[in-house]
């Protein structure tokens, strides 16, 4: 081990979404700290991450480290490879400490579930509001930067470049650790991405990003109905269980056939007026009465 800032100690929390390489990025930082003569402990939770869940890796270094876990308010820096996960990790960040956050969004399907109101459950890219709360926010579109230098897969190296400017470790340790962990063929691209991240200027980059973000995509200012539609069923035309197409087709699972084989709307409050039942009924037994007209 080379001599280095062995008295330095720090808590780095890396967070993101399964498949984004958070654990690998964390291993690189751990390697950097080790090469600089520190004791290192790392703990990660990635149980269900393969299935698009969240991943977090706690990394602590110093002359001697006891617990591998970083507690709320204790992280000297949080690095988030995804916007929503950066916000989620905020309580871990020591007030006054910097947040490095990628502006890339990975929207979970659960954020698109309020179908009647159309309310989007993913937080807007409000970079300026975040900067007011945190102070030192280093927000960039790491994916765009990685693409520019040649490989979208090197996205995490951009963020590591940003992180490197916040930590006391020598340049050589970063280079050696990067080369040791990324697939051999992609080493040059990762090195370029790392350089690009390190060259970003703060807070200028964050403000440029805040300006570029513009009105939030998937904003909630929309044409949402908020009120359910109503169905008129002509019972005499309905074949009931012998068909059942509408019951299977309804995306909101509004429909059922009762014990007497009559079509009933079991969840009238959920009907979005999509008209699938009306369209697919072979006997024209359903009419959707919907007051909502597109106001385009």
Partner 1 sequence: MRVAAGYPGTPATEILQTLVRLDPDRRVYVEWSTNEKVALDLALGAAMGGARALAAMKHVGLNVAADTFMTAAYTGARAGLVIVSADDPGMHSSQNEQDNRLFARFARVPLLEPADSQEAHDFTLLAFELGERFDVPVLVRSTTRVSHARGVVRRAEVAAARAPRFERAPEKFVMLPGWARGRHRALLERLQALAAEVEESPLNRVELRDRRFGVVTSGIVYHYVREVLPEASVLKLGLSYPFPTRLVRRFAAEVERLLVVEELEPYLEADVRAAGVPVEGKAYFPRDGELSPDLVARGLERAGWPAPAPRPRHAAPATAGRPPVLCPGCPHVTPYLALRQMGAVVSGDIGCYTLAAMEPLRAMDTTVAMGSSIGMAAGLARSGGAAGPVVATIGDSTFLHAGLPALADAAYNGTRITVVILDNGTTAMTGGQAHPASGVTIRGDAAPALDLPALCRALGSGWVRVVDPYDLAGTRLALAEAVAQRGVSVVITNRPCVEMPVKVRDHPFAVDDAACTACQACMNLGCPSITWSDGWHTGRRKVQIDAATCTGCTVCAQTCAPGAIVPLAGWSGRA
Assess 112 for contact with partner 1 (CB under 8 A): yes
CA 252 to chain centre: 26
Q: Minimal distance in Å, beta carbon 167 to partner 1?
A: 18
Q: Minimal distance in Å, beta carbon 253 to ligand SF4?
A: 8
Residues 227-286 touching ligand SF4, rule: CB under 6 A, are 229, 231, 250, 252, 254-255, 271-277
Q: Which stretch binds partner 1 (CB under 8 A): 158-166, 179-187, 195-203, 276-284?
A: 276-284
Q: Minimal distance in Å, beta carbon 102 to ligand SF4?
A: 23
Helix, strand or coil for residue 289? strand
Q: Minimal distance in Å, beta carbon 105 to ligand SF4?
A: 17
Read off the DSSP letter of residue 71. P
Instruction: Identify the residue among 207, 218, 264, 266 touching partner 1 (CB under 8 A).
Output: 218
Q: Which stretch binds partner 1 (CB under 8 A): 5-13, 67-75, 179-187, 198-206?
A: 67-75
Q: What would the two tokens of residue 162 be?
A: 């940003």
- d(Cα 134, Cα 266) in Å, to the nearest integer? 48
Q: Which one, of 264, 211, 208, 216, lies nearest residue 240 by Cα? A: 264
Alpha helices in the chain (DSSP H): 22-35, 83-88, 127-134, 142-148, 155-164, 171-181, 187-199, 204-213, 245-249, 276-280
Binding mask 25-64 for ligand SF4 (x = CB under 6 A): -------------------------xx-------------
Closer residue to partner 1, CB minimum distance, 179 or 270: 270
Closer residue to partner 1, CB minimum distance, 198 or 292: 292
Beta strands in 219-275, from DSSP E residues, in sequence order: 230-233, 255-257, 263-265
Q: Are 4 and 169 in contact (CB under 8 A)?
A: yes
Give the residues lining the site for ligand SF4 (CB under 6 A): 50-51, 229, 231, 250, 252, 254-255, 271-277, 288
């Amino acid at each position: 081990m080379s001599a280095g800032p062995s008295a330095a100690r720090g808590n780095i929390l890396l967070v993101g979404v399964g498949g984004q390489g958070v654990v690998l990025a964390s291993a690189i930082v751990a390697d950097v700290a080790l090469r600089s003569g520190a004791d290192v402990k790392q703990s990660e939770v990635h149980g269900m991450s393969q299935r698009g869940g969240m991943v977090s890796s706690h990394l602590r270094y110093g002359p001697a480290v006891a617990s591998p876990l970083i507690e709320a308010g204790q992280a000297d820096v949080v690095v988030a490879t995804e916007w929503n996960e950066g916000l989620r990790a905020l309580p871990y960040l020591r007030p006054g400490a910097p947040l490095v956050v990628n502006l890339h969004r990975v929207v979970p399907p659960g954020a698109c579930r309020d179908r009647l109101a159309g309310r989007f459950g993913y937080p807007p890219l409000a970079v300026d509001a975040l900067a007011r709360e945190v102070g030192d926010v280093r927000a960039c579109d790491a994916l765009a930067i990685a693409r520019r230098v040649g490989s979208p897969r090197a996205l995490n190296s951009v963020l590591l470049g940003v992180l490197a400017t916040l930590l006391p470790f020598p340049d050589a340790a970063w280079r050696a650790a990067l080369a040791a962990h990324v697939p051999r063929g992609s080493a040059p691209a990762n090195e370029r991405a790392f350089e690009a991240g390190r060259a970003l200027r703060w807070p200028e980059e964050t403000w440029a990003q805040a300006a570029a973000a513009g009105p939030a995509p998937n904003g909630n200012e929309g044409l949402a109905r908020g009120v359910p539609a109503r169905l008129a069923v002509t019972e005499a035309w309905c074949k009931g269980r012998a068909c059942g197409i509408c019951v299977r087709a309804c995306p909101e699972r509004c429909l059922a056939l009762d014990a007497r084989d009559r079509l009933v709307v079991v969840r009238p409050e959920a009907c979005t007026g999509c008209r699938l039942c009306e369209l697919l009924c072979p006997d024209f037994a359903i009419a959707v009465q919907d007051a909502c007209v597109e106001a385009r």
